[in-house]
Structure 1
Amino acid sequence: MAIIDLFLSRRVRRGRLTVVHHDGQLRTFGTADPAMPDVTIRFTDKGAAGAIIRDPGLGAGEAYMDGRLTVDNGDVLGLVTLMTANDLWEDGAGALQASPATRAIEAITHRIGRINRARASKRNVAHHYDLSDRLYDLFLDADRQYSCAYFTDPANSLEQAQDDKRAHIAAKLALEPGMTVLDIGCGWGGLALYLHQKTGAEVLGVTLSEEQLKVARRRAEEAGVADKVRFELIDYRHVTGSFDRIVSVGMFEHVGTPNYTTFMRQCRDLLNDDGVMLLHTIGRAGPPSVTDKWTVKYIFPGGYNPALSEIVKANEGLRFYLTDVEVLRLHYAYTLQHWYDRTTAARDAIIALYDERFFRMWQFYLAGALCAFKYGGLVNYQVQFAKNRHALPITRDYMYEREQAYRAEQPPTRLQAAE
């Protein structure tokens, strides 16, 4: 029996995986389960299986990207589902981790890679967020919300869930007319424009993506609010002034653990005496760890999803009140399912933009992320902070009341696809 066969026989129990080896030999693993995929894969050369044995995540990702591993029945999401659903985070087996020696090396190199000084941060952001506008139009919602949506019902559309996410966040900010808001990592400007429209707040959005900045500024101009909703290309460490509220969605993953306390201190110092901050970030349900090598290499260089303990520790000693924590468990899995389906449907368009290898990379990225939230140890945290103990009501009722009011109103104008 080949080593890869032994590896798979121990890891695929529920669901059925058929493997066609490069020499034509066929092996089947697991048992049919109506709740699980039935997948057939093919190794097109001898070395692909060995690469997967050495480092399952990196090896499988690269083999799929390069066509050394093909999916003949089912799709790559089915393959990733088979592997991860048989290795639930709750069970603690960690069967898909790299070897201990590989993990030890990665722990050192990853810590170095996530230092994320200002220059490196801009380069890392450009790697992912300065891709073609057309790519993001193909798989995101019309407002280009590139972060976890909020599903009040799993059957909701992606557009509805992203609307509800913005209402959920706005409610936690407890905004009042005339307030000033800093949006750190503002993306294409959708949240900043929403906050101004709903509350009249003046918003400064900051980003390190030149492409996102162009779109955000264009949107503010077209909406006639460029004097109230401004966008700047600036690192959070270099922002000056004072604000009533700070919000950061999907940016903390790029800060780097050595900079967590710097980030928290900067946010506290930028807030007025009655200031409130909301941090929305992907996080780990377990203890601190490292980002898998494939994701760092191909998708998010310098990226890291923090454990809740790391967020709390970064805030300790700053006299910055931790006022609310919410854990969103399956919401990102639902979001990623929409993104994966739209990406797969846009295969020809994405290949025309880039090539087949890029399409496979993007598809594998979304499939892996989806399963990490559905079966693995990733969640989303929404963590609220306040400058003083009196800045917010003493119960959470205000959140529910405001959120319902925002959701009842007409949704804001949608982003038009970039030409």
Structure 2
Amino acid sequence: MNKPLDYILRKFISAGSLDVTFANGKTSHYQGTTPGPHAAMRLTTPAAERSLLLNPGLGFGESWMDGSITPLNCTLYDLLHVLMLNAMNPAGHIGESLAAAARYLRRKKIQFNPESRSRKNVAHHYDLGEPLYDLFLDKDRQYSCAYFRTGNETLDEAQEAKKHHIAAKLLLNRPDLSVLDIGCGWGGMALTLAKDYGATVTGVTLSTEQLRTARARAEAAALSDRVRFELMDYRHVSTQYDRIVSVGMFEHVGIAHYRTFFEKIRDCLTEDGVALIHSIGRNDGPGTTNPWIDKYIFPGGYSPCLSETFAAIEPTGLWVTDCEILRLHYAKTIAIWRDRFAKNRDKAKALYDERFCRMFEFYLAGAELSFRVQGHMNFQLQLTRSQTAVPLTRDYITGAENRA
């Protein structure tokens, strides 16, 4: 038995319980003082034990990927549920606490995302290939939090509702409004705003794969006269627009660039313009990105808290005319993605390999739990240059959604 790890686990597990079989075959039971889920795992190598002792934020995921951590009589999700729930314990894990403190000191450097690095970061994840994303996303390939008005919607229905919820906040109250879509993905939002609301949309992205698909979709929908897509960093946009929308892109800006981002929003909005920013966020103050996520999934990415977001907005003179917190919507979204990926795992393995599938399973399970037990959420911020750009009350949002 790894005695230092055993000692830490006895302090770490405060809710639920965990059984651990160490590399030497010995098993220990760790019981929390408050009710919670139960899970069990086997550590098959001393290296896995060391990684959990010294840097579990990175080491657990890597050990899972190489097969040296195995859930026993439970799923990976069950195991992560116990560990991520207990990670919120103030006593915590001293090894992870020290590693997190070191990451926090370096977070501006970790999230320094000039244009060249931003392109590389985007390609790392979003250019993996469309066949992969077709295995688990909705038909419109919305790779962001869906919107469950009742909680009983299908994924396609909830993603469609998300687009119309955002459109309502953009106050598309007259035809031919010009819209800038920053981080346009595969083009679904831009095409919806053009087709259903008569907007003229420019989408910008750093993903060559997404750009090709978005352009093809616009042509197939006979909307090329109303929608155009460009391979462009948001920092190079110079035209003013009536409306600006950005969904799931702010997480990739980097804290060192927040002021630049919101100044660009201000400069690119017309005087009576409206912007809507949809982003993952956190409710527990400024922090850092999990090192495994940063290395394998979203390099340079970070889920901001509202305090640091508002601090970057305030000097720009922009008005925050609406703020909505979506709490469990992304958890529900990712749960569906996770189920779909599991059903198509063999296809994913044929596209990549077993290690990739284990990586993606870990990513989806951890992402869902970050919203269920670790305080992640989504926020939508409506921004204007003028305090009179939108109506006095939020009634127009519901009205627009009902009409849609």
TM range (shorter): over 0.9
Distance 2:79 2:299 in 1: 25
Residue of structure 1 equivalent to 2:165: 168
Question: Which runs of 5 or more residues in structure 2 are unaligned?
Answer: none
For 1:212-262, what per-residue CA distance to the aligned partner results, in whole angstroms no more than 9, with x for missing partners? 001101100100011101111000011121210000000001111111111
2:289 equivalent to 1:280: no
Report if aligned partners of 2:322, 2:383 keep a CA contact under 8 Å in 1.
yes
Shift of 1:156: 2.1
Aligned equivalent of 2:296, options 290, 295, 298: 298
Shift of 1:116: 0.5
SS at match of 2:135: helix
Distance 1:245 1:97 in 2: 47
Residue of structure 2 equivalent to 1:85: 85
Q: What TM-score, normalized by structure 2, do the two folds share?
A: 0.95
For 1:137-169, what per-residue CA distance to the aligned partner results, in whole angstroms no more than 9, with x for missing partners? 111111110011111123322111111111110
Q: Which shifted more, 336-345 or 21-30?
A: 21-30
Distance 1:269 1:94 in 2: 46
Distance 2:102 2:28 in 1: 33
Residue of structure 2 equivalent to 1:415: none
SS at match of 1:138: coil
Question: Which runs of 5 or more residues in structure 1 are unaligned?
Answer: 407-419
Percent identity over the alignment is: 47
- Aligned positions of 1:13-412 closer than 5 A: 13-30=14-31, 37-88=37-88, 93=90, 95-96=92-93, 98-175=95-172, 176-406=174-404
Give the 3 Å change call, closer, same or farther, for CA 105–84 of structure 1 in structure 2.
closer
Distance 1:51 1:31 in 2: 23
For 1:277-328, what per-residue CA distance to the aligned partner results, in whole angstroms no more than 9, with x for missing partners? 0000111212212112111111111111111111111111222111011111
Shift of 1:120: 0.7
Report if aligned partners of 1:57, 1:97 keep a CA contact under 8 Å in 2.
no
Distance 1:116 1:172 in 2: 29
Distance 2:61 2:233 in 1: 32
For 1:156-207, what per-residue CA distance to the aligned partner results, in whole angstroms no more than 9, with x for missing partners? 2211111111111010000021101000000000011111111110100100
The aligned length equals 402
Give the 3 Å change call, closer, same or farther, for CA 31–313 of structure 1 in structure 2.
closer
The one-letter code sitting in structure 2 at the alignment partner of 1:18 is: D
SS at match of 1:122: helix
SS at match of 2:190: helix
Report if aligned partners of 1:246, 1:267 keep a CA contact under 8 Å in 2.
yes
Shift of 1:67: 0.6
The CA RMSD measured in Å over matched residues stands at: 1.9
Give the 3 Å change call, closer, same or farther, for CA 262–139 of structure 1 in structure 2.
same
Distance 1:83 1:103 in 2: 16
Q: What TM-score, normalized by structure 1, do the two folds share?
A: 0.91
The one-letter code sitting in structure 2 at the alignment partner of 1:48 is: A
